[in-house]
A and B are shown apart, each in its own frame.
Chain A
Amino acid sequence: MSAPELEIEGLSVSFGQGTQRIQAVQEASFVVERGASYGIIGESGSGKSTILRAVAGLNEDYSGSVRIDGQEAPRPRDKRFYKRVQMVFQDPYGSLHPRRMIRATLLEPLRIFGFDNADRRIRQVLEDVGLATHFAYRYPHQLSGGQRQRVAIARALLLEPEILLLDEPTSALDVSVQAGVLNLLDALRRDRCLTYVLVSHDLRVVAHMCSRVAVMTQGRIVEELSADALREQRSHDDYTRQLIAASRGRTPLDAVNGEGAARSDPRKDAVHAK
């Protein structure tokens, strides 16, 4: 493992103007090694997805630097960038074009990048994500949530990227379906030596999938720790401890009440109305 593959330094994102201005991400910095899986955990409005969208270039209005193999990612992102970095979205119902056949959706990146053997590649990638070939000839509304998310993963894999950005890839799925998709993602990472950045609100998912985890709240990364530390509850930050306790189902009312007032700030809702 040589130089870090993905380096984020001093990343800040804000929305709105003047007094309405909301700092969604403040000075976030982290480093992801090649072939590693890095998790970002936080609650709604913590800015975790905003980081991912800024890295992906869906929001170019950020300050700070995003480096891949030591090179600053261009703004706007170019095709070379997307050849290396792909993303899987949270909602498999929203991330596939409702009126296009799965085959057309999968054909799109191949056409844009001028890949040959399109049909063979589509067949192969569907097999890789555990779907039969005939799924290529269906429309999104004919698939279940888990199947759609597999298609979305297949689309991201078609360009053979090195880095996959995963934005809550299983939060819209049932736990039994989630297990299958998480297993798939894990196996793909090992087989293809992919680098993951996974964003989730679910401590279980992050602890299972990632080796290192950043904890975010109110736009800041408050702590970075290993998955083992997360499991063993070795944390130095109040918020992290609170999050772990809540995820484990033990939530004494008084322990959370102090934070409750700050959390009910109406501005918070504005933050996640992206």
Chain B
Amino acid sequence: MTEPMLDVRNLTVAYPSHQGYTEALRRVSFRLGRGKLGIVGESGSGKSTAGRAIMRLLPPKARITADRMQFGEIDLLTASEKRMRSIRGGQIAMILQDPRYALNPLKTVLSQIIEACRIHKVGTRAEARDRAMAMLEDVHIRDPRRVAGLYPHELSGGMGQRVMIAMMLVPSPRLVIADEPTSALDVTVRGQILDILDERVEAQGAGLIFISHDLPLVGAYCDDVLVMYGGQIMERLAARDLGAAQHPYTVALNDSLPPLDRRVAVLQVPEYDSAWLQEDQP
């Protein structure tokens, strides 16, 4: 990793509650170069909050503090809302779980991609159109002309996610945040979508933050993995070392999954240790 693209230090997000503030995210720090960073955790671990905090997409009542949240030369903590609007979708793209909710149901695929082009790029309508068609081909859609004219409800899950990727990557973002991009998809389609995402991110030289609950998937797909629990980072390790994880939470998470290669009588049910949340961040 050379110059980090994204540098987050001690990011804390808190929501108002009955007793002052409740922290949804606590002192989360990480740096991202041009690699693929996976954030793994179960529901409530804060993994999605982390992604949204970087995009500054959290509800206004959330209190965000950090020592540093630097994206290239932009300070994400202090950037104005107007600046953020051009960063979102332009320099940082976000791919969500279910394309059926993320796409506008009343517009065709093509017009949505063209719109994405035109918001973030200067160019004529014809240029945007060409780019959109090229992008549809880039995400391995076999018949881009036919798909371009379809409405979101006419797309299957996998096709919808390809369109979503095309739309998000058309302004050439420098960072892509994918929040459970394949959780709504069938396993046999999942692989293709991940490969396409990988190929596009690679081709455009962007960084990728891949948020998922699926430990084996993240292990196979990313370069580095952050394991989160209770709003904190439990450990950070290289994906290939996931099998030899040290932290008891990562180990327990691994063991609770029914294995595919052997028969076990009883699955391990993780036992949580409140001490994990007291530990200081590395």
Contacts and interface: CB of A to CB of B under 8 A. Distances in A.
Chain B interface bracket (under 10, 10 to 19, 20 to 34, 35 or more): 35 or more
Contact of B192 (A201, A231, A253): A253
Contact of B188 (A204, A207, A249, A259): A259
Contacts of B259: 204, 208
Interface in A148-204: 174-180, 182-183, 186, 201, 203-204
Interface residues of A, number: 42
B260 A207 contact: yes
B267 A246 contact: no
Contacts of A243: 187-188
Nearest to A42: B186
A268 interface: yes
Contact of B267 (A145, A179, A228, A231): A179
A208 B158 contact: no
Contacts of B142: 261
A145 B213 CA distance: 16
A233 to B, nearest CB: 9
B77 to A, nearest CB: 31
A117 interface: no
Contacts, number: 114
A246 B155 contact: no
B61 interface: no
Contacts of A251: 188, 190-192, 194-195
Given A201-B187, A204-B259, A246-B187, A269 B195 contact: no
Interface in B205-236: 213, 215-217, 220
B187 A176 contact: no
A142 interface: no
A205 B258 contact: yes
B270 A179 contact: yes
A242 interface: yes
A264 B269 CA distance: 38
A97 interface: no
Contact of B257 (A43, A204, A242, A257): A204
Contacts of A177: 42
B188 to A, nearest CB: 5
A76 interface: no
Contacts of B270: 176, 179
Interface of A: 43-44, 145, 174-180, 182-183, 186, 201, 203-205, 207-209, 227-228, 231, 242-243, 246-249, 251, 253, 256-257, 259-261, 263-266, 268-269
4 A-B pairs with the lowest CB-CB distances in the bound complex, closest first: A251-B191, A208-B258, A43-B186, A179-B256
